[in-house]
Copies of this chain bind each other. A is one copy, B any other.
Amino acid sequence: MKNRNAWFEAVIRQQGQVKPGNILKVDAFLNHQLDVDILDHLGHDFYEAFKDRPITKILTIEASGIALSCFAARYFHVPVLFAKKAMSANISPEVYQSQVKSYTKATVSTITIAKQYLQSEDHILILDDFLAQGCAVRGLLDCARQAGATVEGIGIAIEKGFQNGGAQLRNDGYPLYSIAVITAMSADAIEFGPGY
């Protein structure tokens, strides 16, 4: 799968900025400004990867996962459900919640999903912009488990392959597809490879 995404790797090399602390800023097209052509390409790529699965809903997390998921959802023709983030838990019997650590912000958030929108009959595709240690995806998986929903796959725009989140998810047997997998990066160069 990796060669077909040479175009996206070139976009990341051209428009991404590597910052200290292994942070990749892609504010030009994905995390602040949103490039509709690039997002449409990514959405279609997720569709190609998972179109044979009986997906009923795309599950993501605010805010940066929303745009990506909207473009993918057009191809799957299913709703998007985005988990809401809050700094403090607001426990209710009507919601699923999980704790998510942010690698880049050094914070812990509580993510919340209303039970009425995620049910045991759902077959979900989890989408997110980045995968590093996998905390956001683990939080969404935890909510899906609470709901009894079936996880059909996980799609990621940019995986930091030099961190262990992707490897662990693959070891656990989840169908994980990352459009670009970064194997090494510095201020001077970004290297890509297959997902492990």
Identify the A interface with B (CB < 8 A). 27-28, 32-36, 39-40, 62-63, 66-67, 69-71, 73-74, 77-82, 84, 87, 113-114, 117
Contact = CB atoms under 8 A, between A and B. Distances in A.
Interface of A is mostly: mixed
A35 B66 contact: no
Nearest to A43: B70
Contacts of A82: 32, 34, 63
Contacts of A67: 66-67, 70, 80
Given A67-B67, A67-B70, A32 B84 contact: yes
Identical copies in the complex: 2
Nearest to A67: B70
A34 B117 CA distance: 10
A81 B117 contact: no
Nearest to A84: B32
A28 B63 CA distance: 18
A32 B117 CA distance: 9
Contacts of A39: 70
